[in-house]
Structure 1
Amino acid sequence: MTVDAGKTASPAATWTRRETLSSQVVRTIAERIKSGDYPRGSKLPTEKALIDELGVSRTVIREAIANLRASGLVSIHHGIGVFVRQDAGVTPFRLGDENLALVENLVKGLELRIGIESEAAALAAARRNQADLDAMAAACDAMDVAVRNASRDTQADFDFHCAVATASHNEHFFRIFNYLGETLMPRMRLSTHAVDDAALSVHLARVNEEHRAILRAIEVQDVEGARAAMRKHLGDSRDRMLERLRASHD
């Protein structure tokens, strides 16, 4: 987008004083990106062109560009210019707390985990190293302690799944599990609040048996076995959660 030759007043003349100049420049450029005036992948006008058009200082423009970069809207190619990111304006994936208040959305979250973690387990079976196996075994051992203590903490469970995702040696699996696990697992465990300690220990022992089945498949590099074991584990977790919730409402 180029500056219209006939412009006689800068946008700065009409900006509200309740915002800083840099935040108003950020808003102006972000709106132009959203509207397509600055298409994804395109180069922004030069620093001088923005200064002349918007009627602000070089410092304000540089601060605004830094904020736009931090927001994920632009990228800076030193010596070339500032470009609109290809993913600019794409809403990041998130699970809102309000959505997780619904049982059906917890189930959907588990279904999402099944799809992601089953493949992570398969990759882990193909790529794992000794450090990965040690981390998974340590999480299973910690889970044994949780069984004995009837612990309602999700840490050992989380650590096992995190170790599997790490063993995929694909950082995207780790990052998305880290998000999904921390978001969903504590809420799932809330459904055990009315279960007595003996019943909880039985439940945790069953979960850890499933973890060790996954670990065994990964250890012997059984790709299909690891995928199937993780799918069964998370599918059974979904079914157990629904069973506990139904029992609590009877």
Structure 2
Amino acid sequence: MTELDRAAGRGLAHELVEALKAKILGGEIEPGRKLPAESSLMAEYAVSRTVVREAISRLQAAGLVETFQGRGSFVLAVPEPSPFSLPADRLRSHRDILDLLDFRLGLEVEAAGLAAQRRTEHQLKAIERALGDFRRAADNPAQAVEADYAFHLKVAAASGNHFFTELLGSLGPMMIMLPRTRLDAAYSYDDAAHFTRVTLEHENIHDAIARADAEAARAAARVHLANSRHRLQEG
């Protein structure tokens, strides 16, 4: 049995991802080879099936494995590092922040539609957990930013297209945080009415993905981001 670091506080799924990633990047599991079966990973690392599935989902989102129904998960060739990055210091003006939201509109609307078509039950649960974390962060703006970002990242991962995940991953929580610094206080997470509106917008995205309604998911994502842009434009 292989021991995971259970005291690190990062979660067993994270630790399992890191263990498997080390084997993949280190060449121990070569491209084209099949990952061990779920039952084997459960026994080797003493974790639940839920943890194994979450870890494999994250490896898929990172573009390290591909899963085929009934056949298992196979290791892909290690991708080259993405050259795309958007450091916070490049967003210097109000126009830059508006352009960032335009960029997100083009990216996340389609990601939400694909998520409705392709998401697994496990990925839907991950979106639900992120939504729940956001709801519980009503009194903690810093946590709300992290939970907001996690929600959008989980939707991107559920699209099944790792480029969406990589692009949002390169932006980080700053894609949520920086626009907030430009908004009037009435649009901050400290404002209960605003927080309720944003929560409802997130719920509409989740609900459409849960129903596998791609067009409704695109519409809900478009409304949410367009509302964010409108609020920023007014600010």
How far residue 98 of structure 1 moved from its aligned partner, in angstroms, is 3.9
> Is 1:120 aligned with 2:111?
yes
Do the aligned partners of residues 135 and 94 (structure 1) sit closer, same or farther apart at CA in structure 2, a change above 3 Å counting?
same
Which of 86, 107, 115 is the matching residue for 2:98? 107
Which of 182, 191, 195 is the matching residue for 1:200? 191
> Is 1:228 aligned with 2:219?
yes
Q: Distance in 1 between matches of 2:162 and 2:107?
A: 13
Relative to structure 2, which stretch is displaced further, 208-217 or 182-191?
182-191
Aligned residue runs from structure 1 range 13-52, under 5 A: none
Unaligned runs of 5+ in 1: 1-90, 246-250
Partner of 1:130: 121
8 Å CA contact 2:116, 2:209 repeated in 1: yes
8 Å CA contact 1:152, 1:189 repeated in 2: no
Do the aligned partners of residues 111 and 210 (structure 1) sit closer, same or farther apart at CA in structure 2, a change above 3 Å counting?
same
Give the AA of the match of 2:124.
L
Q: Distance in 2 between matches of 1:157 and 1:209?
A: 12
Name the SS of the counterpart of 1:92 in structure 2: coil
Aligned residue runs from structure 1 range 67-78, under 5 A: none
Alpha-carbon RMSD: 2.5
Which of 191, 203, 210 is the matching residue for 1:219? 210
Name the SS of the counterpart of 2:83 in structure 1: coil
8 Å CA contact 1:122, 1:226 repeated in 2: yes
CA deviation map 1:135-155 (0-9, x unaligned): 1111111121122x1524401
Unaligned runs of 5+ in 2: 1-81
> Is 1:151 aligned with 2:141?
yes
> Is 1:240 aligned with 2:221?
no
Q: Which runs of 4+ in 1 moved over 4 A?
A: 192-199
Give the AA of the match of 2:167.
I
TM-score, normalised relative to structure 2: 0.59
Partner of 1:77: none
Q: Distance in 1 between matches of 2:88 and 2:147?
A: 23
CA deviation map 1:114-140 (0-9, x unaligned): 011111101100011111111111111
How far residue 193 of structure 1 moved from its aligned partner, in angstroms, is 7.8
How far residue 178 of structure 1 moved from its aligned partner, in angstroms, is 1.3
8 Å CA contact 1:192, 1:200 repeated in 2: no
Name the SS of the counterpart of 1:176 in structure 2: helix
Q: Distance in 2 between matches of 1:139 and 1:186?
A: 17
How far residue 95 of structure 1 moved from its aligned partner, in angstroms, is 2.7
Name the SS of the counterpart of 2:85 in structure 1: coil
Q: Distance in 1 between matches of 2:114 and 2:187?
A: 37
Q: Distance in 2 between matches of 1:238 and 1:184?
A: 12
Do the aligned partners of residues 188 and 142 (structure 1) sit closer, same or farther apart at CA in structure 2, a change above 3 Å counting?
same
How far residue 93 of structure 1 moved from its aligned partner, in angstroms, is 3.4
TM-score, normalised relative to structure 1: 0.56
Name the SS of the counterpart of 1:221 in structure 2: coil
User: Number of residues paired by the alignment?
Assistant: 154
Q: Distance in 2 between matches of 1:203 and 1:212?
A: 14
Partner of 1:185: 176
Which is greater in Rg?
A: 1
| % identical aligned pairs | 36
8 Å CA contact 1:121, 1:230 repeated in 2: yes
